[in-house]
Amino acid sequence: MNNFSDIIGNEQIIKSIRRVLKNKMISHAYIIAGEEGGGKKMLANAFAKTLLCETGGDEPCDQCISCRTFDGGNNPDIIYVHPVKTKGISVDDIREQVTSTVNIKPYNHRYKIYIMPNADTMTQQAQNALLKTLEEPPEYAVFFLLAENIYAFLPTIMSRCVLFNIKPVPAFKIKNYLLERKLADEQADMVAEYAQGSIGKAIRFAESEEFSAMRQKVIETLSGIKNAPYYVLTEAAKELAANNDAADITDMIYLWQRDVLAYKITEDKNCIIEKDMTDRIVDEARNNSYEALCGVPEFIMKTKKYLKQNVNSQFALEMLFINIKGELVNDRSSRS
């Protein structure tokens, strides 16, 4: 638990971190950047646990009191910074959880470590408050700022942090991981594709009972969407948004459209990822023109962007379904 060996992919970053640990060249602040579910927290945890481990090696020993309390969630020298009253991390959060505690020496270890998930939600005021600590940190303090969007940070924060960019894990590595966890081959293939490089998503999908229901609903809605009445699309958006993460649904829609387009171009069933849906995908490809299908991905990408800006999920999905239908109905290739 919380060891480098538990992390799938990102071997290059782990190698760099190990080098840092071996050479004892520890910086005071790191930004770990990457997509949601990409393993930012796992990496920060493994790094932090190793720093606190009493053996001082480049992998936690799992035996010492520090390692055991770390895994038990009660190591006093690790502090997770979270927003208390607001959605993002406020200046009060920084004052109460960082500034007021950082000068108290670590209880048992050489380091006192702060891990801040969603650090990119810090307000400007909060960042300025943190900056004061980062400018003159106590010798023992180490900060891990986890972020999806590094552009949210002030340049002055960026300049004081070492940046690690987490890369998406290749689908075949996710698949192998799922096979080790006893998932059937076909399902592992599909979940690995849906996960889009995120091991966190893959685990969530593999363990979720709602995943199959959501997928069924998405595919039902998309098959023959050109002829679907609007109220069906509205209802589908409502049902899907109520029970699931809209970003996951959008990824599913993307994979379906990708399969339809791939088959349209190649007429080769081997190009289809969602093998269990081959017949429906072939039908959809035959019933729509290449030009019309090519217009769809743009709407999916836009929806993904809107969702990141916190647009209402049901509304975003409904618009997406209506736009897909519109694109397929107003087939540009058939216009004279």
Helical H segments across 59-170, by residue range: 65-72, 91-94, 124-135, 155-158
Cβ closest to Zn ion, residue 101 vs residue 108: 108
Size of the site for Zn ion (CB under 5 A): 5
Region of 56-64, 211-219, 279-287, 295-303 interacting with Zn ion (CB under 5 A):
56-64
Region of 36-44, 57-65, 144-152, 314-322 interacting with Zn ion (CB under 5 A):
57-65
Residues 6+ apart with CB under 8 A from 11: none
Site string for Zn ion, 60-99 (x = CB under 5 A): xx--x--x--------------------------------
Contact 218, 249 (CB under 8 A): yes
Give φ, ψ of 196 to 5 degrees.
50, 50
Cβ closest to Zn ion, residue 65 vs residue 84: 65
Minimal distance in Å, beta carbon 138 to Zn ion?
A: 23
Which residues within the stretch 21-40 sit at the binding site for Zn ion (CB under 5 A)? none
Distinct helix (H) and strand (E) counts, the chain: 16, 5
Region of 52-60, 110-118, 148-156, 303-311 interacting with Zn ion (CB under 5 A):
52-60
**From CA 3, how far away is CA 176, in angstroms rounded?**
19
Minimal distance in Å, beta carbon 70 to Zn ion?
A: 8
Cβ closest to Zn ion, residue 64 vs residue 294: 64
Cβ closest to Zn ion, residue 67 vs residue 253: 67
Q: Which SS3 state, helix, strand or coil, does residue 33 take?
A: strand
Per the DSSP assignment, residues forming a β-bridge with 33 are 147, 165
Cβ closest to Zn ion, residue 51 vs residue 171: 51
Neighbouring CB atoms inside 10 A of 39's CB total: 26
Write b or e for each residue in 136-167: b if 16 or more Cβ atoms lie within 10 A of its Cβ, otherwise e. Answer: ebeebbbbbbbbbebebbeeebeebbeebebe
Minimal distance in Å, beta carbon 55 to Zn ion?
A: 5
- DSSP state, residue 276: G
Q: Which of 53, 199, 225, 307 binds Zn ion (CB under 5 A)?
A: 53
Cβ closest to Zn ion, residue 67 vs residue 281: 67
Minimal distance in Å, beta carbon 48 to Zn ion?
A: 12
Minimal distance in Å, beta carbon 15 to Zn ion?
A: 21
Region of 10-18, 50-58, 103-111, 138-146 interacting with Zn ion (CB under 5 A):
50-58
Q: Is 102 in the site for Zn ion (CB under 5 A)?
A: no
**From CA 276, how far away is CA 235, in angstroms rounded?**
25
**From CA 48, how far away is CA 31, in angstroms rounded?**
13
Cβ closest to Zn ion, residue 51 vs residue 262: 51
**From CA 310, how far away is CA 232, in angstroms rounded?**
24
Cβ closest to Zn ion, residue 65 vs residue 329: 65
Q: Which SS3 state, helix, strand or coil, does residue 20 take?
A: helix
Minimal distance in Å, beta carbon 4 to Zn ion?
A: 13
- First CA to last CA distance, the chain: 63
Q: Which SS3 state, helix, strand or coil, does residue 31 take?
A: strand
Would you tell me which residues interact with Zn ion (CB under 5 A)? Answer: 53, 60-61, 64, 67
